[in-house]
Amino acid sequence: MRRILVFGLIAFVTFCSFVVIFAPASLVWRAAEKEVIQNVPDLHTLRVGGTVWSGEAELAYRQFPTSTLNWAIAPMSLFKARLDNQLSLNGEGHEFNAGVQIAEQFGQLTSLQGFVDAEYINRVSQPRGLTFSGRVDIQNMAITSDLRWVQAATGRIYWPGGKIISRTRVAGTRVFDLPALTGDISLKGDDINLNLHHNSNTVVDIFLKPDGWVRVDVKARLFDLTNLPWPGGSSLDDNVLEFEEKLLRSNR
């Protein structure tokens, strides 16, 4: 009788393990999809394949080209009461790779490396009358979160410089050359800050706020680098352009 119970328990555990390991990712995604869409309302899932532990999803966000997200979870990390995951996101004009750790009330993204081509960014900037050349490289980005908002953020981006084309009804088409720009990612108060600078002098400040709004502050120095006039009485460190856009739903 005992042997039957033991073999029955082994068979049950084996069956449960098989179900968990090979469970279709699409089933899990359906359970989480509502929460994801609530937080990123412009994100759409076109396809989900593979298993919970190793799979891929095809994603679409606004007017950007589609992206393929691949993941691979290390099952042994469960013995440490967490999930260790390797992610890659790639598509036309962009590619990212990172490690992700998720535990109870804790999440961490580490060693994010990748790039975004100018053509990808131009999908958003062109309707506003601006197009860029080159590509932006992202180096060693890391984010720590309590699964509600970011607690720490570090990283660096680099753009080698190039041409910016401006098209307006008033001034027509104008072409400007900008030098290389470096961007540092940090946490300022509760805001995630991307500070773009040239020779340690800020040209653009971008803030992602906990309420999901992004604010962009453009300094007069950016106009100075392109030999354009800026509003009289402004110093190079003054904001001469400011705009905001809602990107995410607030979790706080």
Please give the chain's pLDDT, 252 residues, in tens. 444 443 344 443 433 344 444 455 565 566 556 666 666 777 888 888 887 778 888 888 877 888 898 888 777 766 667 778 888 999 988 999 999 888 878 888 888 999 999 888 888 777 777 788 889 999 999 999 887 888 999 999 999 998 888 776 766 787 888 899 999 999 999 999 999 999 999 999 999 999 888 898 988 888 888 887 766 667 888 888 888 888 776 655
Q: Supply the DSSP string of the chain, one letter for each residue.
A: -HHHHHHHHHHHHHHHHHHHHH-BHHHHHHHHHHHHHHHSTTEEEEEEEEBSSEEEEEEEETTSPPEEEEEEEEGGGGGGTSEEEEEEEEETTEEEEEEEEEETTEEEEEEEEEEEEHHHHHHHHGGGTEEE-SEEEEEEEEEEE-SSSEEEEEEEEEE--EEEEEEETTTEEEEEEE--EEEEEEEETTEEEEEEEETTEEEEEEEE-TTSEEEEEEEHHHHHHTT----TT--TTSEEEEEEEE-S----
